[in-house]
Chains A and B, each alone.
Chain A
């Protein structure tokens, strides 16, 4: 079954291949891990075709003072070559060079960095500089690039970057949705201000993106799962109806069932009373998914809270 993790991988591959978003729909039917590996190998394959030239230019760059290298990178080489050269420089020199380059140029350059080689460099660049570069990437809506760096920057830098994103729920979602190592989502969600968490859920409702937001939930620890599930459950009935119907339409029930299993008894009770949960087809599908996903024990309270009318619908 296609989950939002599949869709995220599809979009990242489309981005690498420079094709229109959604044009490689069949990729979402492939295993997430296999597509990720394919994309990473492809990115490395493209890089290696020019690695020798990048390496030689990096060798020349090392002969020059940093300030001269920076001027040449900006005025002569441009972001494509500068990105390749940066990947071939020792990380300390690359970081020093980055410190001399304007942040708008670095933002352009970062689009061409080979992610597997860029981590060490970015980690060595001054925090203020990284935050400024991130600001440009946010302005340019370059969330795939930004998300690819989440795991290599320090916690304090990441926190400042997330503050820059502010209460733009859709942008917050995109950073989380495209993050390369999903285990980083714990840190990312933990550092969100309450207003940012609410903005994330508002974006899910306003832009009909509940499946994408819910897809982040399985990657969080139990405490954060409970916090986010309860926050969603405390929204208006209108919002929660929309949430359940979006999941039913998309078909990936696991994140929603996980949310139900993590929320408080009171919130669970409010979820059971939703109008959507009184529709036979939807309720039957929900029950079938609980069984198929072997979540009967985790959702025993949910089943107990069903009214006689709902139980009758299930037959």
Chain B
């Protein structure tokens, strides 16, 4: 499994931000990168939950279609 820094690079974290992380001592680098990644996942989930809640008003059989139309 790739390291948090590699995962952030895959997620296209800006290069300058990657350089900031890379300049830190290894232990700090890993701690911060892991936290940046964890926060990213948490924020993604928060938006995802909010979108699902918003789509609750759409009748269940149509939700997937509406979601596809709007967000893919």
Partner of B51, one of A26, A27, A30, A53: A53
Interface pair B50/A34, CB less than 8 Å apart: no
Interface pair A52/B13, CB less than 8 Å apart: no
Give the residue name and chain of the A residue nearest to B20 (CB): A38
Interface pair A56/B39, CB less than 8 Å apart: no
A17-B36 in contact given A45-B14, A45-B17 (Cβ < 8 Å): yes
CB-CB contacts below 8 Å: A12-59 with B? 16-19, 24, 26-27, 30, 34-35, 37-38, 41-42, 44-46, 49-50, 52-53, 56-57
Partner of A52, one of B36, B42, B71: B71
- Provide the bound-state CA to CA distance between A60 and B36, in Å: 32
Q: Is A144 an interface residue (CB 8 A)?
A: no
Interface pair A57/B44, CB less than 8 Å apart: no
Interface pair A38/B17, CB less than 8 Å apart: yes
CB-CB contacts below 8 Å: B12-44 with A? 12-14, 16-17, 20, 24-25, 28, 31-32, 35-36, 39-40, 42-44
Q: Is B60 an interface residue (CB 8 A)?
A: no
List of A residues within 8 angstroms of B39 by Cβ: 16-18, 46
Partner of B54, one of A24, A35, A45, A77: A77
Q: Is A176 an interface residue (CB 8 A)?
A: no
A-B pair number, CB within 8 angstroms: 70
Interface pair A53/B71, CB less than 8 Å apart: yes
Q: Is B1 an interface residue (CB 8 A)?
A: no
Interface pair A56/B14, CB less than 8 Å apart: no
- Provide the bound-state CA to CA distance between A26 and B25, in Å: 10
Partner of B43, one of A30, A41, A46: A46
A78-B20 in contact given A46-B39, A53-B71, A57-B70 (Cβ < 8 Å): no
Q: Is A80 an interface residue (CB 8 A)?
A: yes
Q: Is A169 an interface residue (CB 8 A)?
A: no
List of A residues within 8 angstroms of B42 by Cβ: 18
- Provide the bound-state CA to CA distance between A77 and B53, in Å: 7
- Provide the bound-state CA to CA distance between A66 and B17, in Å: 38
- B44-60 CB contact bits vs A (8 Å, 1 = yes)? 10110011011001000
Point out residues on A near B: beta carbons under 8 Å.
16-19, 24, 26-27, 30, 34-35, 37-38, 41-42, 44-46, 49-50, 52-53, 56-57, 60, 76-78, 80-81, 84
Point out residues on B near A: beta carbons under 8 Å.
11-14, 16-17, 20, 24-25, 28, 31-32, 35-36, 39-40, 42-44, 46-47, 50-51, 53-54, 57, 70-71
